Structure 1
Amino acid sequence: MIVRTSRLALALAFALVPLAAVHANPVPAQDAPVSAAAAPAEEARSVLRAQVLLDRAHFSPGEIDGESGSNLRTALIGFQRSRGLPEDGELGPATWAELEREAVATLVDYTVQGEDVAGPFEALPTDMMEKAKLDALGYTSVEEGLGERFHASPALLRSLNEGKPLDVAGTVIRVPNVADAPAPAAATQVIVDKSEGTVLLAAADGKVIAQFPASTGSEHDPLPLGEWKVTGVAVDPTFSYNPDLFWDANPEHAKAKLAAGPNNPVGRVWIDLSKEHYGIHGTPEPSRVGKGESHGCIRVTNWTALLLSEAVKAGMPVLMRE
Structure 2
Amino acid sequence: MKRAILTSLGLAVLLSVASALPAAAQGWGRYQSDSVLVAPDGAILDYTPRAGEVVISRDQMGRRVYIDRYGNIIATEMRRDSYREPSINRYLPPPSRGYDQPRDAAGGYGSGGGYRDYRQYRPGEPGDITGTVPRDSSIIRLPLNEDGGIMDDGEEKEASIEPQQPQPSAVPHVQKPIIAPTNKPQNEIVALQVFLDREGISPGVIDGHLGDNVNKALAAWQEMTGETIDPNNSEEIMQRLSYSGGMPIVDYTITAADAAGPYVAAIPEDYAHKAQLPAMSYTSVTEALAERFHMDEGFLKSLNPGKDFSIPGTIIKVANPGQPKTGDVTRIVADKGRKQVFAYGGDGKLIAAYPATIGSTDTPSPSGTHTVQRIALNPGYTYNPKINFKQGNNDQILQIPPGPNGPVGTVWIALSKPTYGIHGTPDPSKIGKTNSHGCVRLTNWDATELAKMVKPGTVVEFTD
What secondary structure sits across from 1:202 in the alignment?
A: strand
Partner of 2:371: 229
What secondary structure sits across from 1:188 in the alignment?
A: strand
2:273 to 108, 130, 134: 130
1:244 to 370, 375, 386: 386
1:163 to 302, 306, 312: 306
What secondary structure sits across from 1:292 in the alignment?
A: coil
1:58 to 200, 220, 239: 200
Give 1:310 shift. 0.9
Q: Deviations over 1:275-300 (max 9, x none)?
A: 10111100101111111100111111
Q: Deviations over 1:196-220 (max 9, x none)?
A: 1111111222121210011110112
2:358 to 193, 216, 238: 216
What secondary structure sits across from 2:386 in the alignment?
A: helix
Partner of 1:191: 333
Instruction: Give the TM-score normalised by structure 2.
Output: 0.58
1:154 to 273, 293, 297: 297
Partner of 1:91: 231
Aligned CA distance change for structure 1 residues 49 and 131 (closer, same or farther; 3 Å): same
Q: Deviations over 1:140-170 (max 9, x none)?
A: 1110000110000111111222222211112
How far apart are the structure 2 equivalents of 1:92 and 1:105? 17
Partner of 2:240: 101
How far apart are the structure 2 equivalents of 1:222 and 1:8? 16
The amino acid across from 1:315 in the alignment is G
Q: Which has the larger radius of gyration?
A: 2
How far apart are the structure 1 equivalents of 2:146 and 2:354? 18
How far apart are the structure 1 equivalents of 2:433 and 2:298? 18
Partner of 2:282: 139
How far apart are the structure 1 equivalents of 2:319 and 2:289? 11
What secondary structure sits across from 1:75 in the alignment?
A: helix
What secondary structure sits across from 2:221 in the alignment?
A: helix
Question: Would you say 1:121 and 2:299 are equivalent positions?
Answer: no
Give 1:246 shift. 3.4
How far apart are the structure 2 equivalents of 1:145 and 1:259? 18
How far apart are the structure 1 equivalents of 2:421 and 2:192? 30
The amino acid across from 1:91 in the alignment is P
Partner of 1:261: 403
What secondary structure sits across from 2:334 in the alignment?
A: strand
Give 1:254 shift. 2.0
Report the number of matched residues: 285
How far apart are the structure 2 equivalents of 1:219 and 1:307? 28
Partner of 1:112: 254
Aligned CA distance change for structure 1 residues 105 and 273 (closer, same or farther; 3 Å): same
The amino acid across from 1:135 in the alignment is P
Structure number with the bigger relative contact order (C-alpha 8 A, sep ≥ 6) is 1
Query: Is the contact made by 1:9 and 1:242 (CA closer than 8 Å) also made in structure 2?
Result: no
How far apart are the structure 2 equivalents of 1:66 and 1:44? 5
Farther-moved stretch of structure 1 (224-233 vs 247-256): 247-256
The amino acid across from 1:283 in the alignment is T
How far apart are the structure 1 equivalents of 2:431 and 2:149? 19
Once superposed, what is the RMSD of the aligned Cα atoms? 2.4
1:307 to 449, 452, 460: 449
- Structure 1 residue runs without a partner (length 5+): 13-42
Query: Is the contact made by 2:372 and 2:456 (CA closer than 8 Å) also made in structure 1?
Result: yes
What secondary structure sits across from 2:329 in the alignment?
A: coil
Identity of aligned residues (%): 40
